[in-house]
Structure 1
């Protein structure tokens, strides 16, 4: 079954929820030095900040914890392999995986999912971070500019990876939470495609950003609305469609895929407490446990 297309109202709701949640989480962090109030940089996550899709690394980590069986892991693995080899996400597939999973996280606590995400980041995702992309983000921070992740990953988890990479914060998909646990519903919808652009616009309005002076980085043609929104779009490890658009519009193109070395980034020297996960894949695990019980 194909994922239904989101309407304009649903996209706006997802965007507003993402902006509000991002600022709420960022406000809880340790105070930072003053930033340039009018500029910021926005980074996609999957295949831009890290090689591959975070949700599949998270699924592997959950499988190692007996959350679901080898057949599910094989399905996740095949999808991830296709994503890595093609360098191009299937938007319907990504939405279906994430949205379907949400139906099964009901009752699971946010703290538990974040805890597993921290562990799995250290085990499987930290070494997948592109050092070149991380260096670009650090350049923006050094220049006094705020740096935000923008991703379909749940905001609670996206915020963890942002913290671990010493970034400002993250805009992500907002799931409904009641009494500290997921209800299994989204607030609006997935932060994907047009919704990402609208979330950045909502954040810019609240923070007084001049989008003509802002940067955006992504690998995917699905993020064309986001890239087109800012004055400085950059294609990172672009899929074929985005690469063609970038050449046509004379956007910078950077490719860190062939030169990437396995560098563990965002891990404290003394401990292995780590960051984010690919998100609501945990929901799939929940369903498998219930079904097999």
Structure 2
């Protein structure tokens, strides 16, 4: 029956894991339609706000425009005007803009702002629907300039948005009918379902706004997502599942304070470590005292916990090259908090000129490696600073993907072979450290952490004895497959 979850499902608060299980156990194939709302559902906040700020920075709006926008927003919140009127007022400000200019602006805003506002929980659900072969679409009152870059990023082919009038490549400032709001959006979704010879009873709908209640009642799988007040009340009355998550959102003073408190704890710890280093004349002793405490302080202040499996592998083989998959700026904190001691940092020679790198190199064992010319002799010479630290008992920590992976729809990025050649040459094992959900507590470019639990699996050491110059690439791919297999079949956490 439309508007009612299938029998046997739970009602009220529901987790992403619960929904994934239901998707996997339910009907498969393209006749099952999945509709995602955009603002507030796939992404945190509103894309219109990012566009407004971009125009503001360019000086496109004067004081009168700002005052007019403020009044219109207040009227909308007070329900003195309809959202369609607010949209019309906003689009009117785009009169005279070139279509190509707005397309380029949309791409830039996505790259700088919106890509880090995509909810990882919604990506998990999106991928579950994709594995089930479902037909997936976005339906939004926003324009294509706001929505299409994110849709491409997530691999969503079908996009329904509000349409602006364009003549000879220039916007007229008018919106075309029907508008994608309330009934207009519901009609567009119903037409989409009919065009795919599917049924509303087999349609999933994720949305947050109160204006979506009518469409929620029409589909067979309504999932209010971070719902507004009226939608939440309706969901409770109808017995619908309610999905809530907070891995993305506004930067609050509390979040900033918590993260800053943890990060700034480095400075008193740094002075303590320098003191220990001077007394013992051993930089490694200073690093072993300071860095684990710093990582602990950052996570304690931020409310981040680590749920770990395979802790015994962290100390069974030292020194080693610890490999971790890289999603955000804080992955190294998580790994450092686990490995804790006798760690060394490998950096490009150019980083010698970086003031932060220079400061840390006074405390932490660092090898600044020159790029080799390619011959075995030159490679061995470039690697000598690292070999020296390994001979002294230090392990190395490296992200073989080379940088923070941007694509949220893939489990693991491609691996560079440098870390594997290093391990082979030095004759030490590699130890894979698989991080499952780092994006739940911080986006790719985030500078602050949100409270939550990060799952980490430490895999058994992989010996490099018997590796050769020729088969190292193959061995790297085998290790990468270990990461993929672990993410697909996650082991139980340690007690």
TM-score (norm 1): 0.68
Matched, 1:151 2:173: no
Distance 2:116 2:99 in 1: 25
Corresponding residue number in structure 1 for 2:29:
36
Deviation at 1:194, TM superposition (A): 1.0
Which sections of structure 1, spanning at least 5 residues, go unmatched? 1-34, 270-293
Corresponding residue number in structure 1 for 2:215:
226
Q: Deviations over 1:133-173 (max 9, x none)?
A: 22212211121112111111113542232112211221111
SS of residue paired to 1:49: coil
Shift in alpha-carbon separation, 1:92–1:70, aligned structure 2, 3 A: same
Superposed CA RMSD: 3.3
Matched, 1:48 2:37: no
Q: Deviations over 1:241-286 (max 9, x none)?
A: 11111111111111012x44897965899xxxxxxxxxxxxxxxxx
Q: Deviations over 1:191-217 (max 9, x none)?
A: 101111100111122221222111001
Deviation at 1:89, TM superposition (A): 9.7
Q: State whether residues 42 and 122 of structure 2, in contact with CA within 8 Å, keep that contact through their aligned partners in structure 1.
A: yes
| Equivalent residue runs for 1:90-109 within 5 Å | 92=81, 94-109=83-98
Q: Deviations over 1:28-78 (max 9, x none)?
A: xxxxxxx93311110111111111111011111222223225785688689
Deviation at 1:90, TM superposition (A): 5.7
**Higher RCO (CA < 8 A, seq sep 6+):** 1
Q: State whether residues 151 and 157 of structure 2, in contact with CA within 8 Å, keep that contact through their aligned partners in structure 1.
A: yes
SS of residue paired to 2:35: strand
Distance 2:153 2:208 in 1: 22
| Equivalent residue runs for 1:206-285 within 5 Å | 206-257=195-246, 259-260=247-248
SS of residue paired to 2:87: helix
Shift in alpha-carbon separation, 1:209–1:203, aligned structure 2, 3 A: same
Matched, 1:162 2:151: yes
Shift in alpha-carbon separation, 1:214–1:76, aligned structure 2, 3 A: same
Corresponding residue number in structure 2 for 1:15:
none
Count, aligned residues:
230
Distance 2:166 2:68 in 1: 28
Corresponding residue number in structure 1 for 2:181:
192
Corresponding residue number in structure 2 for 1:64:
57
Larger radius of gyration: 2
Shift in alpha-carbon separation, 1:70–1:133, aligned structure 2, 3 A: farther
Corresponding residue number in structure 2 for 1:286:
none
Distance 2:82 2:64 in 1: 18
Corresponding residue number in structure 2 for 1:16:
none
Which sections of structure 2, spanning at least 5 residues, go unmatched? 1-27, 252-327, 329-404, 414-495
